[in-house]
Amino acid sequence: MPKSKFHVVTTVNGDSVEFLCEPQQTLLDVLRDELHLTGSKEGCGSGDCGACSVMLDGRLVCACLVLAVEANGHSVETIEGMAHGDDLHPLQRKFLEHSALQCGVCIPGFLVAAKALLEKHPDPTETEVRYWLAGNLCRCTGYDKIVRAVLDAAVEMRTG
């Protein structure tokens, strides 16, 4: 008999988490609607906008294109794991300093994606930043301030 609900055991932002889900539910649906982690946004639901960006086993992915059951036994990191209490991640501070946001819907995705970039390439060129973030769409800022905030955060994170 096909099971209708799946029992999924996963790690979200370092905490062990269990949930029940339908096989067709996406990871994004479960993060937002079951786990109430609403930082990840659904902009398009088709992999085009990056507003749902999360890390799955250390890889940047679109949570809208992952089935929640696929997270079983794996580890997920979301925007909610980025700050430590009131202590913002350097990228978050730099986005604020550079006013790199307007409506803010795209920003959790940009932050998660930018963090993944700086972990892999601590000293990216502007071109590298723009290509890495090409899967994150923003309808407000025009991108320039976002790119500058990422480059500035990279400098701070390298020099400490």
Partner 1 sequence: MQYESPQSVDSAVSLLAAGADDARVLAGGTDLLVQLRAGMIEPALVVDIKNIRETREIAREDGGFRIGAAVSGAEIGEHAALKEAWPGVVEAVELIGSTQIQGRASMGGNLCNASPAADTVPALIAAGAVCRIAGPGGQRDEAVESICTGPGRTSLAKGEFVVSLYLPARPPRSADAYLRFIPRTEMDIAVVGAGVNLTLEASGECSAARVALGAVAPTAILVPEAGEALVGSMLNEPDLERMAAAVRAACHPIDDKRGTVEYRVKVAGVMARRACGIALDRARSQ
Ligand X SMILES: Cc1cc2nc3c(=O)[nH]c(=O)nc-3n(C[C@H](O)[C@H](O)[C@H](O)COP(=O)(O)OP(=O)(O)OC[C@H]3O[C@@H](n4cnc5c(N)ncnc54)[C@H](O)[C@@H]3O)c2cc1C
Q: How far is the CB of 63 from ligand X (least distance, A)?
A: 13
- Say whether residue 141 binds ligand FES (CB under 6 A): yes
* Nearest residue to ligand X on Cβ basis: 47
Name which of 40 and 92 has its Cβ closer to ligand X. Answer: 40
Stretch that binds ligand FES, among 11-19, 41-49, 115-123, 151-159 (CB under 6 A): 41-49
What is the 3 state secondary structure string of the chain?
A: CCCCCEEEEEEECCEEEEEEECCCCEHHHHHHHHCCCCCCCCCCCCCCCCCCEEEECCEEEEHHHCEHHHHCCCEEECHHHCCECCECCHHHHHHHHCCCCCCCCCHHHHHHHHHHHHHHCCCCCHHHHHHHHHHCCCCCCCCHHHHHHHHHHHHHHHHC
Q: Minimum distance between the CB of residue 147 and ligand X, rounded to whole angstroms?
A: 20
Determine if 142 is a binding residue for ligand FES (CB under 6 A): no
Contact flag: residue 70 with partner 1 (CB under 8 A): yes
Closer to ligand FES at the Cβ: 27 or 151?
Answer: 27
